[in-house]
Amino acid sequence: MRPPHEPAPGAVRVHRAARIEDWVHGIRERSARRRGHVPTIVPYAGYGSVDWVRILCRVLLSKPPGSRGSARTRARREQGIRGWRSFTSVPVGDVAVRISIGGQEIEVVADRGGVVDATVPVSLPPGRHEAVLSTEGGADQRAPIDVIAPGTTLGIISDVDDTVMVTALPRPLLAAWNTFVLDEHARMPTPGMAVLLERLSRAHPDAPVVYLSTGAWNVAPTLTRFLSRNLYPAGTLLLTDWGPTHDRLFRSGRIHKEDNLRRLAEEFPDMHWILIGDDGQHDEAIYGEFAAEHPDRVAAIVIRQLSAGEAVLAGGRSRAELHGVTAPWISANDGATIVKRMEELGLL
């Protein structure tokens, strides 16, 4: 069997790498279905207002409930298996997913990577809710949804890599080791950052917490357990789908972050955000540009400074142009120092 040919004249041109990826996924999907695997939804935490909610999930092929070995496999996946296993699952694109919440029910279609990112108009009171997600042949799954109360004016957005968890990204070999090989229990939390986020969340209990990362959706269950085990406040993960897109060889992590920051600003026009990141990648530049575009929407920018060794491993510190930023700017190499400076600013 050969990879797909060039698109017909007049058709939307898709990057060759994306067509090859779809071809490989098609082979793996047919093989998995012949072995009796069925579409299974992996739910992620979502958020929303009293008028709408954002639903996030991914559809993968797995053994049906009750099949031999399926319970053992699920248990093993829940117990901190090595990262590479999360990238061997078979995503199912273009499959229908039914979403039920607050008496509303809609049907959406997963994208080519099996990811569902859908906004559902629904009237709900503030607080924690659940959306019921279902698809052909699979068991219903429940996704937690945090409905933010009207009048909430402060939110928290945090990077993950080298901000809450030491990963030494984007150095290729170390990034690959930390992502694909290292057991989740061996991953190291960044010193003091769990205390910082927990204190922020306790001081502002209505503030939503969003973990905005360039990491892949494949690691979402592992990352959720890591955050919980290291006492980080619960929140919504906004990750990405690694691999080629319809128009480029690799997805842009920077564009992913910029797009989601702008989306959150549009969704919550009265919200002021505390933006937390590190100086090893592009967080300074991304947050600085966002603050310049929305000067009245940023409560503070918090940058965790990498040590000299971490900066070398992460490819050097960024040198963002920060002209025009009026928001408080806090930089320190550990969470404890950041806490002290936030106390001085009255944010804690």
Please report how many Cα atoms fall inside a 13 Å half-sphere around the Cα of residue 315, on the Cβ side: 15
Say which residue, 198 or 247, is predicted with more confidence. Answer: 198
Q: How confident is the model at residue 92 (pLDDT cuts 50, 70, 90)?
A: confident
In 52-177, which residue ranges form alpha helices assigned H by DSSP? 70-77, 172-176
Give mean pLDDT, residues 207-217. Answer: 91
Sign of the four-CA dihedral 194, 76, 110, 18:
positive
pLDDT of 222-238, one tens digit each?
888 889 999 999 999 99
Intrachain domains 38-147 and 154-344 with the same fold = no
pLDDT at residue 7 greater than cutoff 70: no
Map out the domains of the chain as residue ranges. 38-147, 154-344
Tokens of 43: 């739910």
CA distances from 277 to 58, 271, 298, 305, 334 (A): 26, 19, 14, 9, 12
The pLDDT value given to residue 84: 44
Tokens of 308: 């000299």
- CA 214 to the chain's CA centroid: 7
pLDDT of 30-58, one tens digit each?
665 666 667 889 999 999 999 999 999 99
Pick from 3-7, 198-202, 263-267: least confident = 3-7
Q: How confident is the model at residue 203 (pLDDT cuts 50, 70, 90)?
A: very high
pLDDT of 239-279, one tens digit each?
987 554 444 444 567 899 999 999 999 999 999 999 999 88
Sign of the four-CA dihedral 288, 290, 293, 298:
negative
Q: How confident is the model at residue 307 (pLDDT cuts 50, 70, 90)?
A: low
The pLDDT value given to residue 137: 73
Residue 2's H or E segment, with its range, is none
Q: How confident is the model at residue 126 (pLDDT cuts 50, 70, 90)?
A: very high
Mean pLDDT (the chain) is 78
Q: How confident is the model at residue 90 (pLDDT cuts 50, 70, 90)?
A: confident
Q: How many whole angstroms separate alpha carbon 188 and alpha carbon 49?
A: 34
The owner of tokens 């082979």 is 27
Q: How many whole angstroms separate alpha carbon 93 and alpha carbon 246?
A: 14
Give mean pLDDT, residues 9-23. Answer: 53
Give mean pLDDT, residues 123-140. Answer: 92
Q: Give, in degrees to the nearest 5, the angle at Cα 329 between 325 and 331.
A: 140
pLDDT at residue 204 greater than cutoff 90: yes
Q: If one looks up domain 154-344 in CATH, what number appears?
A: 3.40.50.1000
**Looking at the domain covering 38-147, what would its CATH class be?**
mainly beta
pLDDT of 96-120, one tens digit each?
999 999 999 999 999 888 899 999 9
Q: How many whole angstroms separate alpha carbon 24 and alpha carbon 159?
A: 32
pLDDT of 164-193, one tens digit each?
887 755 545 444 544 544 455 556 788 889
